[in-house]
């Protein structure tokens, strides 16, 4: 009788569990083992700031538990189990049980690395003090929720002005905290147009969140006072969100190819090592517009990487079509969205590009609720090829970013977007949708 295929998956979140599930769906007899450093698998990490703000049950974010993967899908998920090394020549993964501190080896026929990313913690004195947090995994959210319940903090200092802290700011205000954001750089959302990052700054200010840029953190003392080059800030809750880095330290010194810590893969999510695949926040991913790999750690990308990588591990031959870099977040009453390249990114990557920005209503004239969005289209001069788009405005209007993402995926030009047959109904859109209005303005620059 033929021996079953042995598959080991490192990492039990989006990419890893998607890959494991694909293998089991396609090869029922496969022996699939997932090693996960944490206590949870398959959960909605992006919902954590809102779970904190709405004081919901943290387990509502869990899609499937380790036990459910075992009983429903036949996948052996080993929690509190950290991959500490890989012997690619002999196809072995060295695993440390964090519960018993015992080390053992798993032999594989095929390996998927979905070890994710870890929070980048700058060398700040006092970062380990009680009351100082990071928000990366579900256990981080549990600790934050328990601390808020116990200490009932009133003053929050958020170090870093990325998506996590912007969303956390809204939700801590919901819990009646005073919130200050301290950002090291001189601006925020640098991959957006200045006109769009200004809207976010205004929305923060309108809702009582103080944003200070150009800040160097000197220390966080025992009373949680944050000392900086721009003064001292009292706090009884601090969250540090200064970015992430690929969780690949256990691969350093091995033959696997890394680029700035991220695993290099092709469009089938194969690495340079035989029978080894990778995807998610630990790996690079193909970008359709740039026609090269980039590092873009997003949950949507991780799920796609795991699904396609897992299918290919099971014998498929699926090529990944690529991403265009679509992101969306909320800041109080505004939605903020981007797909493709900003004007600055387009020029930096060798495109002769221009941008067009308009503001237009999201509902028909005379409709009782007259929402508005600001839309930016970035396009190539001459050809008019769409390179990117951004939208900010009423939450119900920013979904239009998916139209622009689809246009980018389809390699459309401004003249093509002009001709799109978009829906019209007074509660949802005016007869000239804001995207069409922006395209009508942009075509004038193309013709020049």
Give pLDDT, residue 371.
Answer: 87
List domains and CATH numbers for the chain. 6-37+80-117+245-313 (3.50.50.60), 132-242 (3.50.50.60), 327-447 (3.30.390.30)
Q: What is the pLDDT of residues 184-217, one digit of tens each?
A: 999 999 999 999 999 999 999 999 999 999 999 9
Give the Cα separation of 144 and 134 in Å (integer).
9
Which stretches within 259-400 are classed as H helix?
299-313, 343-348
pLDDT in tens, the chain (448 residues): 578 999 999 999 999 999 999 999 999 999 999 999 999 999 999 999 999 999 999 999 999 999 999 999 999 999 999 999 999 999 999 999 999 999 999 999 999 999 999 998 899 999 999 999 999 999 999 999 999 999 999 999 999 999 999 999 999 999 999 999 999 999 999 999 999 999 999 999 999 999 999 999 999 999 999 999 999 999 999 999 999 999 999 999 999 999 999 999 999 999 999 999 999 999 999 999 999 999 999 999 999 999 999 999 999 999 999 999 999 999 999 999 999 999 999 999 999 999 999 999 999 988 888 889 999 999 999 999 999 999 999 888 999 999 999 999 999 999 999 999 999 999 999 999 999 999 999 999 888 7
Give pLDDT, residue 1.
Answer: 55
Residue 126 pairs in a beta bridge with none
Q: Which residue, 332, 372, 349, 357, is CA-closest to 196?
A: 357
Give pLDDT, residue 365.
Answer: 86
Question: In this structure, what token pair is assigned to residue 139?
Answer: 């256990």
Q: Which residue, 387, 405, 390, 389, is CA-closest to 351?
A: 387
Residue 6 pairs in a beta bridge with 31
CA–centroid distance for 52 within its chain: 18
Q: Which residue, 142, 189, 195, is CA-closest to 167?
A: 189
- Tracing tokens 């990419």 back to the chain, one arrives at 15
Question: Which residues belong to the active site?
Answer: 46
Q: Are 156 and 179 in contact (CB under 8 A)?
A: yes
What order of strands is seen across the sheet that includes strand 237-240?
Answer: 132-133, 237-240, 155-159, 178-182, 209-212
Q: Which residue, 423, 387, 429, is CA-closest to 404?
A: 387
Question: In this structure, what token pair is assigned to residue 206?
Answer: 């309108």
């Amino acid at each position: 009788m033929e021996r079953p295929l042995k598959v080991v998956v490192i990492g039990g979140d989006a990419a890893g569990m998607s890959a494991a599930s694909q293998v089991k769906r396609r090869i029922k007899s496969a022996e699939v083992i997932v090693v996960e450093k944490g206590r949870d698998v398959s959960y909605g990490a992006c919902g954590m700031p809102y779970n904190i703000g709405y004081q919901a049950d943290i387990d509502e974010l869990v899609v499937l538990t380790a036990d459910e993967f075992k009983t429903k899908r036949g996948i052996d998920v080993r929690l509190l189990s950290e991959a500490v090394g890989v012997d690619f020549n002999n196809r072995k993964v060295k695993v440390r049980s964090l519960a018993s501190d015992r080390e053992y080896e798993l032999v594989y026929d095929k390996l998927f690395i979905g070890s994710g990313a870890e929070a980048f913690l700058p060398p700040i004195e006092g970062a380990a003090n009680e009351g100082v947090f990071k928000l990366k995994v579900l256990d981080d959210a549990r600790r934050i929720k328990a601390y808020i319940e116990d200490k009932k903090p009133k003053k929050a200092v958020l170090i870093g002005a990325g998506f996590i802290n912007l969303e956390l700011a809204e939700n801590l205000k919901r819990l009646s905290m005073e919130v200050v954001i301290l950002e090291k750089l001189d601006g925020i959302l640098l991959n957006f147009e200045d006109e769009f990052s200004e809207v976010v700054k205004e929305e923060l200010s309108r809702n009582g969140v103080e944003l200070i840029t150009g800040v160097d953190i000197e220390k966080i003392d025992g009373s949680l006072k944050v000392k900086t080059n721009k003064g001292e800030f009292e706090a009884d809750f601090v969250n540090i969100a200064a970015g992430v880095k690929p969780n690949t330290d256990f691969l350093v010194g091995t033959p696997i190819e890394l680029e700035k810590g991220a695993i290099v893969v092709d469009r089938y999510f194969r690495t340079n090592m035989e029978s080894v695949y990778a995807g998610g926040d630990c790996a690079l991913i193909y970008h359709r517009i740039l026609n090269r790999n980039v590092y873009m750690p997003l949950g949507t990308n991780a799920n796609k990487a795991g699904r396609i990588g897992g299918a290919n591990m099971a014998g498929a031959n699926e090529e990944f079509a690529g991403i265009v870099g679509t992101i969306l977040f909320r800041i109080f009453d505004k939605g903020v969205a981007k797909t493709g390249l900003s004007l600055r990114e387009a020029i930096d990557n060798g495109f002769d590009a221009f941008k067009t920005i308009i503001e237009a209503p999201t509902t028909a004239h005379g409709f009782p609720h007259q929402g508005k969005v600001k839309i930016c289209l970035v396009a190539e001069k001459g050809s008019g090829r769409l390179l990117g788009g951004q939208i900010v405005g009423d939450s119900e209007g920013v979904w239009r970013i998916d139209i622009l993402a689809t246009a980018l995926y389809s390699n459309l030009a401004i003249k093509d977007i002009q001709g799109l047959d978009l829906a019209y109904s007074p509660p949802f859109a005016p007869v000239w949708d804001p995207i069409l209005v922006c395209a009508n303005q942009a075509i004038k620059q193309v013709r020049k």
